[in-house]
């Protein structure tokens, strides 16, 4: 049975310019003029122009949600209610969530169960929760949702989010040896969520243009260049050398070969925007050989949102999904990779 993405719905907190955030969080009054100027230069070098964040900035260094509606429970409710109105709650039989970092602390019963209870979903099977699968986690949820729809002829809802402002801590002392590391963590990563409505072929006619999921490839290579260690979030210096070849050789090229495709046959590339240096490597011929145009959307959304972690590649998919263009027959790929290293890719076609 064929399976489709019928709708995509993003959830975001308030978005601030990174210039404003530097001046607010690392103000001259708090860190001094010299450190303030350094932070401005450093953050500008990351290339991120604005950042969605759930934090109440006036409460820092205490980490507190600015608005209770920013809790992942509220975000999940919003996603389920949005899709329930579109397809009917009775037609949803499977629910999966995936994330790495959350402000939801009451983990029993788990977050997925709480969202199901709050929205009164009547599922055919238990709600699924996949934490800590790195920035590829959404593809694992997507695979399970697609498999469910193929077998059961009912819809599935996938909710992917991360609240990365809850990683690590804020350091305001520039003499601290971890000062620059915490700067990178606090400004590279952002907060946001995405919902996907997965539908079987029997429900397709209720929608306009939809995306057919042709195939999904998941893989894993052990590695610890991305890790939490003693409560601190650490990004290794060798990420751009290690990650792109693994992702290309294990998740992208095998899927292209299986379907007798070349990179030039794929129009849309929803690649996890881990950063400019990593994205640029996918343009190298020995890695993948993507063009500037094929990588453009990922770089644009990196500038707009930073690294959203789990939902990042799906935010790019969302931007493709809501373009008002004729796309019938065009191919695309969703690519995720992160800590672990968990990796994955999904091949799709516009219908």
Judge whether 236 lies within some domain.
yes
- What digits encode the pLDDT tens for the residues 271-301? 998 888 999 999 999 999 999 999 999 999 9
pTM: 0.95
How many domains are contained in the chain? 1
Judge whether 1 lies within some domain.
no
What is the C-alpha to C-alpha distance for residues 333 and 347, in angstroms, rounded to an integer? Answer: 5
Rounded (10°) angle between helices 312-321 and 137-152: 60
Judge whether 127 lies within some domain.
no
What is the C-alpha to C-alpha distance for residues 309 and 306, in angstroms, rounded to an integer? Answer: 9
Inter-CA distances, 304 with 111, 187, 241, Å: 28, 12, 25
Judge whether 14 lies within some domain.
no
The C-alpha torsion from 263 through 267 and 270 to 274, rounded to 10°, is 50
What is the C-alpha to C-alpha distance for residues 328 and 210, in angstroms, rounded to an integer? Answer: 9
Mean pLDDT for each 10-residue chunk of the chain (351 residues)? 96 97 95 96 94 94 93 98 96 97 93 98 96 96 97 97 88 87 89 98 91 97 86 81 96 98 96 91 96 95 95 97 92 96 97 94
Read off the tokens for 64: 């507190």
pLDDT at 233: 80
Judge whether 235 lies within some domain.
yes
Judge whether 101 lies within some domain.
no
SS3 assignment, position 224: coil
pLDDT at 228: 80
Judge whether 3 lies within some domain.
no
From first CA to last CA, the distance across the chain in angstroms is: 15
Rounded (10°) angle between helices 33-46 and 18-25: 150
Q: SS3 breakdown of the chain: % helix, strand, coil, rounded to 5?
A: 45, 25, 30
Judge whether 330 lies within some domain.
yes
pLDDT at 176: 87
- Contact between residue 193 and residue 131 where contact means Cβ atoms under 8 Å apart: no
CATH number at residue 287: 3.40.47.10
pLDDT at 270: 97
Q: Which domain holds residue 298?
A: 209-350
């Amino acid at each position: 049975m064929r399976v489709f993405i019928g709708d995509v719905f993003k959830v975001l907190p308030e978005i601030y310019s990174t210039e404003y955030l530097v001046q607010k969080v690392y103000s001259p009054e708090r860190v001094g003029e010299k450190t303030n100027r350094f932070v401005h230069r450093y953050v500008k070098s990351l290339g991120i122009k604005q950042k969605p964040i759930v934090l109440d900035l006036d409460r820092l260094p205490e980490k507190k949600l600015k608005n209770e509606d920013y809790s992942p429970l509220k975000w999940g409710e919003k996603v389920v209610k949005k899709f329930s109105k579109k397809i009917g709650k009775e037609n949803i039989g499977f629910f999966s969530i995936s994330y790495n970092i959350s402000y939801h602390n009451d983990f029993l019963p788990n977050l997925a169960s709480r969202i199901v209870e709050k929205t009164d979903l009547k599922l055919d099977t238990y709600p699924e929760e996949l934490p800590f699968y790195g920035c590829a986690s959404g593809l694992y949820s997507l695979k399970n949702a697609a498999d469910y729809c193929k077998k059961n002829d009912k819809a599935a809802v996938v909710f992917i989010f991360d609240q990365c402002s809850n990683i690590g801590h804020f350091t305001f002392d520039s003499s601290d040896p971890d000062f620059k590391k915490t700067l990178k963590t606090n400004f590279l990563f952002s907060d946001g969520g995405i919902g996907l409505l997965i539908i079987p072929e029997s429900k397709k006619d209720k929608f306009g243009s939809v995306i057919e999921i042709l195939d999904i490839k998941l893989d894993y290579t052990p590695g610890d260049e991305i890790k939490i260690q003693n409560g601190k979030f650490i990004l290794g210096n060798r990420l751009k050398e290690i990650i792109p070849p693994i992702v290309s050789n294990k998740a992208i090229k095998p899927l292209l070969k299986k379907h007798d495709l070349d990179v030039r046959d794929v129009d849309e590339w929803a690649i996890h925007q881990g950063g400019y240096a990593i994205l640029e490597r996918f343009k190298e011929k020995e890695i993948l050989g993507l063009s500037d145009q094929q990588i453009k959307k990922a770089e644009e959304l990196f500038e707009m949102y930073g690294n959203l972690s789990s939902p990042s590649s799906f935010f790019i998919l969302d931007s493709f999904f809501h373009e008002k263009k004729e796309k019938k027959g065009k191919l695309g790929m969703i690519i995720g990779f992160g800590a672990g290293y968990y990796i994955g890719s999904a091949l799709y076609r516009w219908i």
